[in-house]
Amino acid sequence: MPVAARATEELIDSIAAEVNGEIILLSEVKERQFQMHATGADEGLTGAALSRRALDSIIEEKLFIQFGKEKEEYKVSEFEIDQAVNETKKRVETQGADIDTLLARSGLDMPRYRVMLKDQLLARKVLANEVRNQVKIPEEAAREYYEQHPEEFAGRRSVRVSHILKFVSKKGTEADWQKAYNEISDLRDKIVAGLDFAQAAKEFSDDPSRDSGGDLGDVVQGEMVKEFEDVAFALEPGVVSAPVKSPFGYHLILVKEKLPAVAAPFEKVRGEIENKLFGEMMVAVREDWLRRVKKDAFIDVKVKF
C-alpha cells in the first residue's frame, strides 16, 4: 500500500465521529474516559460501554460548545480553568494518585487537559442558561410529591442546632478558603476557652442566623447539605465541632439537643423535594434541547464499540 494511502487510512481509523464538520478523534474518547474515571462520572462502566458513554458525552458537549461559540455572552476565564484543574487534582489525590501521572497514562498533558476543561466549562454555561434556567418547580408540584410519597419522609431524625459560618464565594481562591479556615479555627479556640457560642455567632458569623445567635432551630435529616448534616447528626449535644467545610465555606456546629425521629413536615423537606424534581426535569429539558439541536446538526459516528 502506498505511504499516502496508509496515512489516509490511519487518519480515518483515528476518527470516532464528526459533528457539524468538527472531528472527534479516538484519542479524545480515551481522554474523556480518563476524566470520567478521575471525577467519578464513569458510574462503574468499563470497556465498550464506557467508550460509548464517553463518545456520546463528547458529541453532546460539542453541540453545546458550538452553540456557545456563536454567542458573545459565553466566555470562560483562565481563573475558572484553574479552579477546575484544582478540583480534579484534589479528587485524584484523595485516591492516592498524582494527576500528572494519570494524565500521561491517558496520553494527555496539562495544556491539552486545560483545553478540554475550557470547552467543558463553556458547555456547562450554555447548559445552565439554555436549559437549567428554564426549569421551575412550583410549590404545588413539590407538595403533591410529598403527599404521594409519605414513606420517604417518615422516621426522620432531627437535631436542634446552631452554627457559625465563615463564608467563601464560589469564585473564592485557595487563599480565601485558607483565610476562612484560619478565622473559624481561631474562633473555635476562643469558644472552647469560654467565649459564648451565641455571642460569637452574633459577632463573627457570615450567616443570617447570626441575628439569633446562630440558631437554626430543628434540623431534619435530609434538609441540610451532606457535609454539614454528617457532622451535625454525629455530634453529641454541647460539643462544638471542628471546622466543617461545605460549599458555602467553613462552619462551627453546636448541637443543643437530639430529638426523636418523626415524620418530617413539608416545609422541612421542601428543598429536598424540589432538588429531586429539579434533577428529573433537568434531564427531560436537556434531552428536549439536544433533540431539537440534533435535528439541524450533522452527526456521523464512524466507530462501533
Domain ranges of the chain: 3-135+279-301, 155-262
For residue 1, what pLDDT is reported?
Answer: 42
For the chain, the residue count is 305
Which of 178-187, 204-213, 287-296 shows the lowest mean pLDDT across its residues? 287-296
39-51 mean pLDDT: 83
Give the residue-averaged pLDDT of 175-195: 94
Average pLDDT of the residues in 38-48: 81
Q: What is the pLDDT of residue 18?
A: 93
* More confident of the two residues 10 and 156: 156
Note the pLDDT of residue 12. Answer: 43
Evaluate whether 146 touches 153 at the Cβ level (below 8 Å): yes
User: Do the domains 155-262 and 3-135+279-301 match in fold?
Assistant: no
Query: What are the residues facing 215 on neighbouring strands?
Result: 162
What integer pLDDT is reported at residue 2 of this predicted model?
Answer: 42
- Most confident range (mean pLDDT) of 114-118, 226-230, 265-269 is 226-230
Q: Which of 133, 104, 120 lies closest to 34 in space, CA to CA?
A: 104
- Segment 114-141 mean pLDDT: 87
Task: Provide mean pLDDT across the span 22-47.
Answer: 84
What would the pLDDT profile of 22-31 be if each residue is shown by its tens digit? Answer: 999 988 898 8
Which of 105-114, 208-217, 258-267 has the lowest average pLDDT? 105-114
Q: How far is CA 205 from the centre of its chain?
A: 25
CATH class of the domain at 155-262: alpha beta
Question: Which string of b and e fits 202-221 if b means at least 16 CB within 10 Å?
Answer: bebbbbebbeebbbbebbbb
Distance of alpha carbon 127 from alpha carbon 41, whole angstroms:
18
Whether the predicted pLDDT of 59 surpasses 80: yes
> For all residues of the chain together, what is the average pLDDT?
87
The grid cell for 150 is 409519605
Q: pTM of this prediction? A: 0.52
* CATH class of the 3-135+279-301 domain in this structure: mainly alpha
240: left (phi over 0), alpha (psi -120 to 50) or beta: beta
5 has a pLDDT exceeding 60:
no
Examine the pLDDT at 96 and tell me if it is beyond 80: no
Quote the pLDDT of residue 132: 82
Query: How far out from the chain centre does Cα 303 lie?
Result: 31
Helix and strand counts by DSSP (H, E) for the chain:
11, 7
Q: Which residue has the higher pLDDT, 83 or 145?
A: 145
Q: How far apart are CA 280 and CA 283, in angstroms?
A: 5
- CA proximity to 238, closest of 216, 252, 254: 254
Q: By mean pLDDT, which of 20-34, 101-115, 158-172, 227-241 is the weakest?
A: 101-115
Q: Quote the pLDDT of residue 162.
A: 96
Is residue 71 pLDDT above 70, yes or no? yes
Most confident of 12-21, 35-44, 187-196: 187-196
- Amino acid 160: pLDDT: 94
Model confidence at 254, pLDDT cuts 50, 70, 90, reads very high
